[in-house]
Structure 1
Amino acid sequence: MTLQLTEIHREIVLPEWCDYNGHMNLAYYVLVFDHATDVFFDSVGVDQNYRDGTAHSSFAVESHITYDNEVMAGAGLSCTTQLLDFDEKRVHYFHRMYHAEEGFLAATTELMSVHIDLNARRVAPIPEKIQARLATILESHKALPKPDQAGRVIGIRRKK
């Protein structure tokens, strides 16, 4: 049996998110992925109670988005998250955004986040309890293939 990622976030494309080309503007892909990131971090314990109680949080420090297929106003969106790796301070993860009704891949994003002490405004170690939750997820996600879009760099491929 092949491991399948479960949906972690669902959202509807609002009309005001669409641009002069008639499809969802690129800024709103970032918004939807940000909402999916919040759900993912909530699921491992970096939620509002944690932030309020510890003055620690996560900050995205790098991201790369691919826009695979356009989506229009009213479309349902479904996001999954794949944990690629983590260490004592960083979390490397990958979201996929699908058209919820038609099932096609709309976009992907690969992100690196760091755990932050909000008082010092510095990177800080991830607590062991949260690392244990991440380790459990990573163990199951290791069975998944690395996403084709992960690790990409932007550039024009020239024929030689």
Structure 2
Amino acid sequence: MTDSTIAGAAPGTVHHGTVLPEWIDNNGHMNVAYYLMAFDKALDDLTDAIGLTRAYRAAHHSGIFVVETHLTYGRELLEGEGYRIATRVLGIDGKRLHLFARMCRAGDGVQSATCEMMILHMDMQARRSAPFPAPILARLIELEQAAPGEVPPEAGRKIGLGQRRVC
């Protein structure tokens, strides 16, 4: 991904960060747990951009729960490297949000990882799923319609070994 592919991206759909020293594992690259944390920070940016801010959630007793996450890894990230995460809405219904995010090295745009998430909007008092508020739903639909054409090849993947057995 280059800057030109994210130019004009909706506010809150692109997150920037840098790999911190404490994120480095025994292999000398970014540890798996910090990839998810970086994607979570990108999700925070997106929720703020659509109006689902911390203040809104507190005032309306609402929130979101991530109920499923799929991560894929491409090229490693090293200490001090910058990255950017572009997030797009793949689908939205009354209560559910399907997101896909792509992390690329800032220096050369090479894909480092992807993250696919299924999210539920929640009534935090009842601790049950609830419909998105109309203005937030409208903004998410707008983001879905603005997303570029095809579904990314990493989206919807499953993990497994198939029928192969080792005895």
TM-score, with length taken from structure 2: 0.88
How far did residue 4 of structure 1 move? 3.9
Q: Could you tell me which residue of structure 1 aligns to residue 60 of structure 2?
A: 54
Alignment of 1:125 with 2:111, yes or no, is no
Alignment of 1:114 with 2:114, yes or no, is no
Q: Which runs of 5+ in 2 are unaligned?
A: none
2: CA distance, partners of 1:158 / 1:147 = 26
Alignment of 1:155 with 2:160, yes or no, is yes
Q: Greater shift after overlay, 25-34 or 52-61?
A: 52-61
- The 4+ residue runs of structure 1 with deviation greater than 6 A are none
2: CA distance, partners of 1:123 / 1:135 = 19
How far did residue 21 of structure 1 move? 0.3
Q: Could you tell me which residue of structure 1 aligns to residue 74 of structure 2?
A: 68
Q: Could you tell me which residue of structure 2 aligns to residue 139 of structure 1?
A: 145
Q: Could you tell me which residue of structure 1 aligns to residue 18 of structure 2?
A: 12
1: CA distance, partners of 2:107 / 2:5 = 18
Equivalent position amino acid for 1:134 in 2: L
1: CA distance, partners of 2:45 / 2:149 = 21
TM-score, with length taken from structure 1: 0.92
1: CA distance, partners of 2:133 / 2:82 = 35
Identical-residue share of aligned pairs (%): 42
Q: Deviations over 1:59-103 (max 9, x none)?
A: 100010001110100000100011100000000010000101121
Q: Greater shift after overlay, 4-13 or 28-37?
A: 4-13
Q: CA RMSD in A?
A: 1.6
Match 2:30 to one of 17, 24, 27: 24
Q: Secondary structure at the match of 1:20?
A: coil
2: CA distance, partners of 1:65 / 1:50 = 29
Equivalent position amino acid for 2:153 in 1: D
How far did residue 138 of structure 1 move? 1.1
Match 2:97 to one of 74, 91, 94: 91
Q: Greater shift after overlay, 128-137 or 88-97?
A: 128-137
2: CA distance, partners of 1:86 / 1:129 = 13
Q: Secondary structure at the match of 2:69?
A: strand
